[in-house]
Homo-oligomer: A and B are copies of this chain.
Amino acid sequence: MIDFQSDYIAGAHPQIIKQLSETNLECLPGYGTDAYCSAAKEKIKAACGCPEAEVEFLTGGTQTNAIVISTMLQDYEGVLAAKSGHISTHEAGAIEYSGHKVLELSQAGGKISAAVLKDYLSDYFADENYEHMVFPGMVYVSHPTEYGTLYSKAELEAIAGVCQDYKIPLFLDGARLGYGLMSAASDMTLADIARICDVFYIGGTKVGALCGEAVVFTKGNQPRHFMTAVKKRGALLAKGRLLGIQFDTLFTHDLYFEISRHAIGLAEELKAIFTERGYSFYLESFTNQQFIILENAQMKRLKQDVSFSFWEKLDDNHTVVRFATSWSTTAEDLEALKRIL
């Protein structure tokens, strides 16, 4: 069985396991106050070209979204997101659990546009009854999106421009940020992301860590007493080293970028294999997630040898499925796939 189910099927990049092992017996202070956390933060700030950034580590994506959003919003505000955004659909109501509404925007290929955003905001404030509605208090985008698509620098800057006009922060969910930055279709660097966004996170769980996301507040805007807010939400690890050591490793010798590039390279090959075999794609993705349309019987057959994930029903006879590559995908996996198709 070859496995393209997701980008979190394997453990951690071996370099991380090695580092966890080598530092294992060191006695370190708890709750993220250890030297590995500090070093990792410095390396991330350097990689972002943003010395004034504040960096915090959390465990997973949904947790990170809920904490960033609920600590940055005012009581009367909600967060704007694509109708297909992760926070709108696949987080079991985590944002609402914090008492805030997700205000849904129409999307194309998982992306919102500055135009749609601007219309929403100007209509909102033009409404005589706007005080009876949830204030739009933040914009959430995922990059890559849930469909593997990417914002261009111009698109993201346009969205950021609207946010600035309305004085609301732009938050970028980078659960798969490495795979976005290393895509051939990307025209943005990590420093661009840091410059354009008010807050974003660098996903670890899906890019080689056992767990962990690094939140970067770029504008001196980290909520006060953030650690207490994290604890209040049950998200503070006693052994914060688990996150610090992993991110320290990922941001040493550009490991984060290297393993992302590896996955992207293999995703391009996978795309080529499916294209050659005449398969249709649900949309064109330049990142590590590829969405392929399968006839249902074909899907059933394929499932016997390959692991991939259900995405959505297209029609009664066809299904959209997702193939994902990651740091752990190998050239052999692709060879085996070729033989099966």
Chain A residues near B (Cβ < 8 Å) = 3, 5-6, 8-12, 14, 17, 20-21, 23-31, 59-67, 70-71, 74-76, 78, 89-97, 99-102, 104, 123, 126-129, 131-135, 205-206, 210-211, 223-225, 227-229, 231-239, 241-242, 307, 309-310, 312-313, 328
Contact = CB atoms under 8 A, between A and B. Distances in A.
Closest 8 CB pairs of A and B: A63-B234, A11-B24, A92-B231, A3-B27, A76-B228, A92-B232, A9-B27, A96-B101
Nearest to A16: B24
15 contacts: A3-B27, A17-B24, A63-B235, A89-B133, A90-B132, A91-B132, A93-B134, A96-B96, A97-B232, A128-B310, A131-B227, A131-B228, A131-B231, A132-B228, A132-B231
A133 B92 contact: yes
A237 B204 CA distance: 12
A238 B211 contact: yes
Nearest to A130: B228
B92 A239 contact: no
A44 B10 CA distance: 24
A300 to B, nearest CB: 14
Given A92-B228, A99-B99, A129-B310, 4 more contacts: A11-B23, A93-B232, A96-B96, A132-B228
A11 B3 contact: no
Contacts of A59: 59, 237
Contacts of A24: 10-12, 14, 17
A100 B93 CA distance: 7
A40 to B, nearest CB: 16
Interface of chain A: mostly helix, strand, loop or mixed: loop
Given A12-B24, A228-B135, A60 B238 contact: yes
A189 to B, nearest CB: 26
A317 B182 CA distance: 48
B6 A30 contact: yes
A92 B31 CA distance: 14
A225 to B, nearest CB: 5
Contact of A17 (B20, B232, B328): B20
B6 A236 contact: no
A134 B64 CA distance: 18
A97 to B, nearest CB: 5
A14 B24 CA distance: 8
Nearest to A227: B131
A138 B71 CA distance: 19
A254 B263 CA distance: 40
Contacts of A92: 76, 131-134, 228-229, 231-232
Contacts of A237: 59-60, 205, 211
Given A205-B239, A328-B25, A94 B232 contact: yes
A229 B131 contact: no
Given A60-B234, A211-B242, A131 B225 contact: yes
Contacts of A127: 310, 312
B133 A76 contact: no
